[in-house]
Amino acid sequence: MTDPQTSADPTGTSSHGSGPFIAAIDQGTTSSRCIVFDRDGRIVAVDQKEHEQIFPKPGWVEHDAAEIWTNVQEVVAGAIAKAAQDIPGFTPADVKAIGITNQRETTLLWDRHTGEPVHNALVWQDTRTDALCRELGRNVGQDRFRRETGLPLASYFAGPKIRWLLDNVPGLRERAEAGDILFGTMDSWVIWNLTGGVNGGVHVTDVTNASRTLLMNLHTLEWDHKILASMEVPAAVLPQIRSSSEVYGTTNVGGLDGVPVASALGDQQAALFGQTCFAEGEAKSTYGTGTFMLMNTGGTPVNSYNGLITTVGYRIGEEAPVYALEGSIAVTGALVQWMRDQMGLISTAAEIETLASSVADNGGAYFVPAFSGLFAPYWRDDARGVIAGLTRYVTKAHIARAVLEATAWQTREIADAMTKDSDVELTALKVDGGMTSNNLLMQTLADALDAPVVRPMVAETTCLGAAYAAGLAVGFWPDTDALRANWKRAAEWTPRMDAADRDREYKNWLKAVERTMGWIEEEH
C-alpha cells in the first residue's frame, strides 16, 4: 500500500544512536537491576530480577546474599544481551564503565577465603538491634555518636547489625578477629565479587555507604576507632573507604571483559546525583520501598535539630566531599507491597491507584505504617503500625486511599523538618522512584505539601546517578555541568487542596502517628 502521510518507510530505523555506553547495577531492597545508558543519559536496555524477602520473626528482615549475587550476574548479562538485540553492531566492549548503587545499611559478613556469607544479610528495615541500640546509648541516649557520625543510634544503621552478627553467630567473633571475615554493605559485596571474589576481589566501600554504618567519622571520612571500640567491631572486618567516583577494579561478569568498576553510591545518594542536585540547597525525594528526601548542603555537614540525619552526599575522586541532610521514611512503597502480598487486596502495586480512585476520600481512616518503628523525624524503634479512625463505613478502597496518603503525610513531616534545619523554603519537590508512576499519589503529595511536585524524564535516577558517577570517573562525561543538561521535566502536579482541608487532614494524621508510639515495651 502506498503511504501518502509519511516521507519514508521507517521500518528498521532505530531511534537510538550507537555507543559507547555506561552500565549501572542497582542492587535494591526488592530487586536487582542493570541499566545501560547512552551519552545523553537515555536508557538503552534494562534487566531486573526480584529476590526473596525473608521474614524469620516479627520485625526481622533478611536477604540471601548468594541469591543476590546470582541475580546481579544475571541482570548484567540480561541487559547486555538486550542491548545487543536492539542496537545494531553492539558489542560488550562498547560498555566503557560500570557503576554500582545499592540498598544502604543492609549488612553482610562473609568468609574471605570461601566467599560464603556467614549468615543472611540483615536488611536495613530489620529492627532486631533495637534493644542493643538502647544499651549502646548508655546514659547519653540516642545521640551518643551523633556528633561524629551525624546519625542517631537506631536499628536502621549497619554498625549495630555487625555487632549482632558477631554476638549471635557461633565462633564468628574469633574468626573476625583473626582476619578471616569481611564486612560489607551491598556495594562492597557486589564490588568484591565483580572484581574477582576469592581470586583477588577488592574490599572497598564508598563514603556514602560508609556514612550509614555509625562507624565512620563524618569529618575525617575515616573509621572512628573510639566508636569501633564501643561497638566492639574489629577493624579487621572493615573495607577501605574510597570516593564515590573512581576506578576500584575491573570486571569480567556477564560477558564484559575488563570493564572498569568505577562508581559506588548508596541508592539515595545516587538518586540525588541522578537528579543532578549538584548545588547547595537542591533536593530530591525518592519513592521506592521507603522514601528518602536528601538536600545538598555543600561542603559542610549541617547538624539537624529536627530529626533529620547528616550524611555524605557524594565525593568525586579527589574532590572535596559534598554533604547532605536526609529525611528517611522506612515504609512507603513497602506498604503498597504489603497490601498486595500480605493482604491480597490488589494483584499489582499499580492497582492501588485503581482501588483508591474508586472513592473520593479516606472515609476517616489513617494508616501509619510504622512496621520498622518510625524513622525521621521521630526515630522511635518502639512504634508499630496503626490503622486509626475505623468505623463500619470504611471499605478496602478507603484503606487504599489511606495507604497513599500515608506516603504524602510522611513526606510533609520531613519536608517541614528540612525547611527548619536548612532555612531553604520548599518551592517545588523533585521526585523519582517506582511510586511516581502513581498519578493519584503525586497529586495527593502536591496537595499535602502545598507545593508543586516535579518528575524528571528519567524516573530511574538511582541507576542514572551511578552511571553518571562511573562515567565521570572514566572521562565519558567531562563534568557535572554536562550532566545537568540531561535533566528534563517530564511531569508536574500542582496543589489543588483547600487549605482548611489540608490542615484538618494533617492534624488527623499527626494524631494517628501518636498512637503508634510506645507499642513495643522494653524487653527483659
Partner 1 sequence: MPGPIQSLERAAAILRLLAGGERRLGLSDVASSLGLAKGTTHGILRTLQQEGFVEQDPVSGKYQLGAELLRLGNSYLDVHELRARALVWTDDLARSSGEAAYLGVLHQQGVLIVHHVFRPDDSRQVLEVGAMQPLHSTALGKVLSAFDPVAHSEVAEGELAALTPRTVTDPAGFEQVLELTRARGWAADLEETWDGVASVAAPVYDRRRMPVGAVGVTGAVERVCDESGIRARLVAAVRDCARAVSRDLGAGRF
Q: Closest residue (Cβ) to Mg ion?
A: 28
The string over 297-310, giving b where at least 16 C-beta atoms fall within 10 Å of a residue's C-beta and e elsewhere, is: bbeebbebebbbbb
Cell (9 digits) for 281: 540547597
Q: Is 522 annotated as a binding residue?
A: no
CA distance 126 to 461: 26
Report the Cα–Cα distance between both ends of the chain, in Å, rounded.
Answer: 81
Write the interaction track for Mg ion spanning residues 454-493; mark x where CB under 5 A is met and - where it is not: --------x-------------------------------
Q: Write the CB contacts of 35 (distance below 8 Å, at least 6 apart in sequence).
A: 23, 24, 26, 43, 45, 46, 79, 460, 463, 464, 467
Q: Is 303 annotated as a binding residue?
A: no
Count of other CB atoms within 10 angstroms of residue 336: 29
Residue among 59 and 333 whose Cβ is closer to Mg ion: 333
Q: Is 298 annotated as a binding residue?
A: no
Q: How far is the CB of 446 from partner 1 (least distance, A)?
A: 10
Applying CB under 8 A, what is the total number of residues that bind partner 1?
40
> What residues form DSSP beta bridges with 489?
456
- The secondary structure of residue 359, as a DSSP letter, is S
Q: Residues 45 to 74: which contact ligand ATP by CB under 6 A?
A: none
Q: How far is the CB of 337 from ligand ATP (least distance, A)?
A: 4
Q: Is 289 annotated as a binding residue?
A: yes
Choose which of 201, 434, 465, 471 interacts with partner 1 (CB under 8 A).
Answer: 434
Cell (9 digits) for 193: 565479587
Write the interaction track for Mg ion spanning residues 286-305; mark x where CB under 5 A is met and - where it is not: --x-----------------
Residue among 488 and 524 whose Cβ is closer to partner 1: 488
Choose which of 71, 107, 289, 310 interacts with ligand ATP (CB under 6 A).
Answer: 289
Main-chain phi, psi angles of 382, to 5 degrees: -90, 0
Length of the chain: 524
Closest C-alpha among 252, 293, 254, 302 to residue 275: 293
Contact between 103 and ligand ATP by CB under 6 A: the answer reads yes
Contact between 437 and partner 1 by CB under 8 A: the answer reads yes
Q: How far is the CB of 346 from partner 1 (least distance, A)?
A: 9
Applying CB under 6 A, what is the total number of residues that bind ligand ATP?
22
Alpha helices in 232-313 (DSSP H): 267-274
- In DSSP notation, 448-488 reads HHTS-EEEES-S-HHHHHHHHHHHHHTTSS--HHHHHTT--
Please identify, among the stretches 36-44, 237-245, 292-300, 476-484, the one whose residues bind partner 1 according to the rule CB under 8 A. 36-44
Residues in contact with partner 1 by CB under 8 A are: 1, 3-10, 13-16, 40, 42-43, 46, 347-354, 434, 436-439, 457-460, 488-493
Binding-site entries for glycerol = 104-105, 156, 267-268
Binding-site entries = 29-31, 33, 104-105, 156, 267-268, 289, 333, 337, 434, 438
Residues in contact with Mg ion by CB under 5 A are: 28, 267, 288, 462
